Amino acid sequence: MIPAAFEYYRPTDLAGALSILEEHGDDARVMAGGHSLIPMMKLRMADVPHLIDLQDVEGLGGIEVSGDSIRLGAMVTQSDIINHAALTEAAPILREAALQIADPQVRYMGTVGGNVANGDPGNDMPGLMQCLDASFTLVGPDGSREVDAREFYEAAYMTAREDEEILTAVTIPLPKGGYAYEKQKRKIGDYATAAAAVQLVKDGESCSAASIAMTNLSDTPVYCEAAGAALVGTTLDDAAIKAAVAAMLGGIDPSEDNRGPIAFKTHVAGVILRRAIERAWSRA
C-alpha cells in the first residue's frame, strides 16, 4: 500500500518531460492515469525514483475523427472514449471495448496511451489496436517515429518503446464494416480470461476483409492474420468459422493462472472468437 519516495515532476510541455526522462534514464518513468503504475508502486513492484506526471503536458489530449483516420491523444481517458459521439459513430468497437475495461472510477483516470504502452498482456486496448491496424507515435530526443501496433509488443512489459521515448498518440485507420469486442472475464474489472477483437467487411453475401486479434492469451496481444484470412472470401459458414478458430489457436500461447489451466483458456478462446465473429458479422 505504501509506495517508496520519489521526486515528482509535472512538466507542461513534451520537451520538458523528455528532458527529465533523458536526465534520469532508467530511474524516471512517465505516468498518465496512474492506474497501473501506482498499484505497482504501492506493491513496490515498480521502483520509480523520478515520476513525471503527464497531466499538464500540452498536446497529449484530444480525439480527432477525420475522413480516413482517428487520432487519439495518449492522455485520452477510457471515459473520454465512451462519451465521444463522433468517435463512437466512426469506430464503435472502441466504446464497446472501453466499457469492458476496469470500472467507472478507473475509466475516468486510465488513458488509452497508458493502456497500450503498459505492456501488460492483460490490457485490452493492445489487441484491439492490432485488430484495427493502429500505429503509435513515439517521441524521443531524436524526434518522432511511428510504430505499428502489430509490431509494438515484444514480451510481457517489453515493447518497442525506448526508455527515453514517450508514446504521444494512437492513430487508427477508419474501420469499416461490422465489429465486436468479446471478453470473457471472472467479474467486473478483471483482465480477460480470453478476449477477441474482430472487424469484418461484408460484400454481398461474402466476407471481403477480416481482422482478428486476441487478448491475454500469450505474453503479448496476438494479431491472428491467418484467422482473418480464413474468413475472407467465405460466407462465414460454420466451416469458415471453424477454420478461423483453428488458425487462431495456432497463434496463441496461454499460460496457467487463477483464470484457469491452458486447456480451459484454449477452449474459452475458441468460444469467444466464434461469438465475436458472429456478432461482428451480424453488424457488418
5 belongs to the binding site for other proteins (CB under 8 A): yes
Q: Which stretch binds other proteins (CB under 8 A): 100-108, 114-122, 230-238, 252-260?
A: 100-108
Q: Are strands 158-159 and 63-65 parallel, antiparallel or unpaired?
A: unpaired
Amino acid at 241: I
Q: Which of 189, 200, 278, 193 minimizes the C-alpha distance to 232?
A: 200
Tell me which residue of 19, 264, 261 sits closest to 164, measured CA to CA: 19
Say whether residue 12 binds other proteins (CB under 8 A): no
Sort residue 44 into left (φ over 0), alpha (ψ -120 to 50) or beta: left
Confirm or reject binding of residue 256 to other proteins (CB under 8 A): no
Q: Do the Cβ atoms of 272 and 255 come closer than 8 Å?
A: no
Closest distance between other proteins and the C-beta of residue 243, in Å?
Answer: 36
Q: Which is nearer to other proteins, 112 or 244 (CB)?
A: 112
Among 103, 146, 154, 162, the residue binding other proteins under the rule CB under 8 A is: 103
Distance CA 143, CA 68 (A): 25
Q: Which three cell numbers stand for residue 72?
A: 487519439
Grid coordinates representing 236 are 462465414
33 versus 121: smaller Cβ distance to other proteins = 33
Query: Is position 8 an interface residue for other proteins (rule: CB under 8 A)?
Result: yes
SS3 57: coil
Q: How far is the CB of 206 from other proteins (least distance, A)?
A: 36
Q: Does 45 bind other proteins (CB under 8 A)?
A: no
| Options 48-56, 63-71, 121-129, 178-186: segment touching other proteins (CB under 8 A) | 48-56
Interacting span for other proteins (CB under 8 A) from 22-30, 37-45, 125-133, 201-209: 37-45
Q: Cβ closer to other proteins: 103 or 203?
A: 103
> Which part of the chain contacts other proteins (CB under 8 A), choosing from 98-106, 173-181, 213-221, 227-235?
98-106
User: Would you give the distance in Å from CA 123 to the centre of its chain?
Assistant: 6
Tell whether residue 108 is a contact of other proteins (CB under 8 A).
yes
Residue tagged 492506474 (cell numbers) = 35
The reply on whether position 53 binds other proteins by CB under 8 A is: yes
Under DSSP, is residue 224 helix (H, G, I), strand (E, B) or coil? coil
The SS3 call for residue 129 is: helix
Angle between helices 262-283 and 238-251 (to 10 degrees): 130
Considering the rule CB under 8 A, would residue 242 count as an interface residue with other proteins? no
Q: Please, which residue, 182 or 251, has the CB nearer to other proteins? A: 182
Candidates 173, 189, 233, 250; binder of other proteins (CB under 8 A) is 189
Whether 198 contacts 218, CB under 8 Å: no
Interface positions with other proteins (CB under 8 A): 1, 3-8, 10, 31, 34-35, 38-39, 42-43, 51, 53, 55, 79, 102-106, 108-109, 188-189
